Chain A
Amino acid sequence: MSLNRIFDIAGSGMSAQSVRLNTTASNIANADTASSSTEEVYRARKPVFAALVQAEMTGRRFTTPFSDDPASAGVEVKGIVESQAELEMRYQPDHPMANEQGYVIYPNVNVVEEMADMMSASRSFQTNVQVLDTAKIMMQRALTLGQ
């Protein structure tokens, strides 16, 4: 029954959104982590989403009743990349982490952007829960057939 597949699809979405929420939490927590060199400083992390092809999900060649192109099912996190945005250099000679020139390097985390990302992830998660809920109702109805 392909209603079962909706559970997999929405589940993959929920897990992807929670990865996104995790990176956001990590970014906000480290927004003010000071460092004395550009190599060591924390950089904002972003997940990369990609549509999951049905064949990969079920582990076998998928034959769709529709066209010949493989229908995708679900979403996956391809990887987590570090942001290449400009790092923040602050002149604070009395800071314990200051380098020889008196600069302290702060992460390239944009807190406003992260908050917006967080809300978007949370909304998407809610949407997926709603999808699951509706699929559950549809399945429950199907079980009452003939009663």
Chain B
Amino acid sequence: MAISFQNALGIHEKALNVRVQRAEILANNLVNADTPGFKSRDLDFKAVLGAESERQSQLDMAATHGAHIGAAGSGPNGELLYRNPTQPSIDGNTVDSQIEIAQYLQNSMDYQASFQFLNSKFKGLTAAIKGE
């Protein structure tokens, strides 16, 4: 009997991926804090993760030919949204560095939490294999 990592690891692997993607988006906002006309962006974590876990529970159609088109639901999901500006500046930039850095750090902590969960899943598997 093979171990299904998909089932064993659960949502935490997906959550970790979404956290990394969100970190990238927030880093990009921070870097463009002085770019005129740049609009601050973010992910709706809950929606993205919800879509991810929903996809996990569905069966994907196999694409055995290059011309095959993916079925609805298997395509990209998780909209990249625009943040509502709290203090829009005159040059059209909507990045608020303080908010972004707070979100970035919080995201990093959440990443560590997801990591902790994932790690303990692996530890559980290892303990089961060793039978200690």
Which residues in chain B, 14-30, are within 8 Å of chain A measured between CB atoms? 20-21, 23-25, 27-28, 30
Q: Indicate whether B105 reaches chain A with its CB closer than 8 angstroms.
A: yes
Query: Quick check: B20 and A3 within 8 Å, CB to CB?
Result: yes
Distance between Cα atoms of A72 and B95 in the complex (Å): 14
* B-chain residues with CB within 8 Å of residue A55 when the two chains form the complex: none
Query: Quick check: B108 and A74 within 8 Å, CB to CB?
Result: no
Which residues in chain B, 55-93, are within 8 Å of chain A measured between CB atoms? 76-80
Q: Indicate whether A40 reaches chain B with its CB closer than 8 angstroms.
A: no
* A-chain residues with CB within 8 Å of residue B80 when the two chains form the complex: 64, 66-67, 69, 71
Q: Contacts A138-B23, A138-B108, A145-B118 known; A74 to B31 CB distance under 8 Å?
A: yes
Q: Contacts A64-B76, A66-B43, A75-B32 known; A6 to B27 CB distance under 8 Å?
A: yes
Query: Quick check: A138 and B27 within 8 Å, CB to CB?
Result: no
The tally of CB-CB contacts under 8 A between chains A and B is 112
User: What band does the interface of chain B fall in when counting residues whose beta carbon is under 8 Å from A?
Assistant: 35 or more
Residue in A closest to B16 when the chains form the complex, CB atoms? A142
Distance between Cα atoms of A72 and B104 in the complex (Å): 17
Q: Contacts A3-B20, A49-B36, A51-B38 known; A13 to B108 CB distance under 8 Å?
A: no
Of A3, A71, A75, which one neighbours B35 at CB under 8 angstroms? A75
Q: List 30 A-B contacts (CB under 8 A).
A: A1-B20, A2-B21, A6-B27, A9-B28, A10-B27, A13-B30, A13-B31, A16-B31, A16-B34, A17-B34, A49-B35, A51-B35, A51-B38, A64-B80, A65-B76, A65-B77, A66-B80, A68-B76, A69-B80, A71-B80, A73-B24, A73-B28, A74-B28, A123-B97, A131-B30, A134-B105, A134-B108, A135-B27, A145-B115, A146-B122
Binding site for A on B (CB under 8 A): 20-21, 23-25, 27-28, 30-36, 38, 41, 43, 76-80, 97, 101, 104-105, 108, 111-112, 115, 118-119, 122-123, 126
